[in-house]
Structure formats: C-alpha cells, structure tokens
C-alpha cells in the first residue's frame, strides 16, 4: 500500500502568498503534518505530487520520513490531473492491484484511528472507499432570484448526505482507469470511480479531519494538534 498526496495547488482561498500546504502549523509546514498522518502501517511509501516548478519543498526538513517520502514534480492544473500524473509516475513501482491512499495535503489533523478503520473496512472490499462524515446540519439548496440574490430553492434530506473526506482508498489500476476516463469536473477520486458505475464504501471519519480552506481554519488545526501534543518535533 502506498499513499499519494496531491500538493500542486496554490490555495487561493487562504488569501496568502504562500501555498497553503507550506503555511506554518505547530512548528512545521501543513504538508509535513499531512505526510505524517499517512506514514503509518501498512503504508510503505508516501508520494507527494508537487508542481513542476516547486522550489519550496526542498526548503523544509523532511528527514523524519527518510526512506519513505518521495516528491514527484508532475502536478497538473487540477486535483484529478495531479493524482493521475502521480499514478503514472510510480507505475513501475506500484502494481495495478496495490492499494493507494489518496490524502489531501491540506488535511493535517487526520487521526491515526481513522486511517486504521478505513484500511480495515476497505482492504477486502471489491471497490474501495473513503472516509466521510454524516451531515448533521440542515442543508439548503440555493438559486438566484431575478435580482441576483441567493434564495432557498429547497431543503435537502440530510439523512442521505455525507461530507467526503480523505484518505480515499482504491486499487491503483482501478483508480488510474477511473481518472483517465472521467468526464466533467471531478473533485475527488470517489467521484471518478462512481462514473464507472461503481459504489465506493463510506467509512465514518472524524470532525477533526478538517480540510484547511479558509484562514480561520488554521487556528482550529493548531488547537487540534496542540491537544494531541503534536507540535514541532
């Protein structure tokens, strides 16, 4: 089993000049914490997919993952492109039947027990699956009125809704095929697999596995890591 982290994005919604995967968090870059989160058995190697011109990665100390972490400078314009390019880059090292954990570089607080549960529930699954969290809030569907204001167009049945998280766990061959053949906007690996007519397994995750999207998310992540005692090491 390998882990693959697409980390070629700019993180524009963070309103920061530095890509969010390199923002400082508990004494380390965000990406360092995300790598550590998936550097657990049975993962044998972690591949980070970076933008071709990335010069920032080398500025940090990655010695804690010596022998397990490998940067791949083949990131694309979209997440789908980066993951697919990463899979192609390691195809000589990974068999089509090998499991791949795709994890967001901007999810530094992934609990170890979530990874263990995902692997436990999916390693014998014919398709694979993903961590997700059941929606607890009321969800409104929106539509603009004639003046351009957003109005409620309906209320969704939240009992059937889950928030997709990562890691997402699929076999390398299946995932490469799904990403190659996917049509339209694909925002996660499960979405590409679904287009093949398959139904990935949902594995309940944790609220702590937040994705850093906005500036205020950094303080939440700092609090989570501080409570675990996982600052700079």
pLDDT in tens, 77-130: 999 999 999 999 999 999 999 999 999 999 999 999 999 999 999 999 999 999
The model's pTM: 0.92
Please answer whether residues 150 and 116 qualify as being in contact, where contact means their C-beta atoms are separated by less than 8 angstroms: no
- Is 159 within a domain? no
Q: Is the pLDDT of residue 233 over 50?
A: no
Please answer whether residues 72 and 29 qualify as being in contact, where contact means their C-beta atoms are separated by less than 8 angstroms: no
Q: Which domain holds residue 112?
A: 2-127+164-228
CATH of the domain at 109: 3.90.550.10
- Is 146 within a domain? no
pLDDT for the residue 119: 98
- Quote the distance between the C-alpha of residue 181 and its chain's center: 20
Residues 101, 171: Cα–Cα separation, whole Å: 9
Please answer whether residues 73 and 54 qualify as being in contact, where contact means their C-beta atoms are separated by less than 8 angstroms: yes
Number of domains in the chain: 1
Mean pLDDT of 192-211: 97
């Amino acid at each position: 089993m390998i882990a693959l982290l697409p980390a070629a994005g700019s993180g524009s919604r963070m309103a920061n000049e530095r890509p969010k995967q390199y923002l400082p968090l508990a004494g380390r870059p965000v990406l360092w914490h995300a790598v550590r989160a998936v550097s657990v058995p049975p993962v044998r190697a972690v591949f980070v997919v970076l933008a071709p011109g990335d010069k920032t990665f080398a500025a940090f100390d990655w010695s804690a993952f010596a022998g397990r972490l490998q940067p791949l400078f083949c990131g694309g314009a979209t997440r789908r492109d980066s993951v697919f390019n990463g899979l192609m880059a390691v195809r000589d090292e990974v068999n089509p039947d090998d499991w791949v954990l795709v994890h967001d570089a901007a999810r530094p607080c992934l609990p170890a027990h979530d990874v263990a549960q995902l692997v436990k529930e999916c390693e014998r699954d014919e398709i694979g699956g993903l961590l997700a969290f059941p929606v607890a809030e009321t969800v409104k569907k929106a539509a603009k009125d004639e003046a351009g204001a957003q109005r409620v167009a309906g209320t969704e049945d939240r009992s059937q809704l889950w928030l997709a998280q990562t890691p997402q766990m699929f076999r390398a061959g299946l995932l490469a095929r799904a990403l190659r053949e996917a049509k339209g906007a694909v925002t996660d690996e499960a979405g590409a697999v679904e287009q093949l007519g398959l139904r990935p397994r949902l594995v309940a995750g944790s609220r702590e596995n937040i994705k850093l999207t906005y500036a205020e998310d950094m303080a939440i992540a700092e609090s989570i890591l501080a409570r675990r005692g996982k600052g700079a090491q």
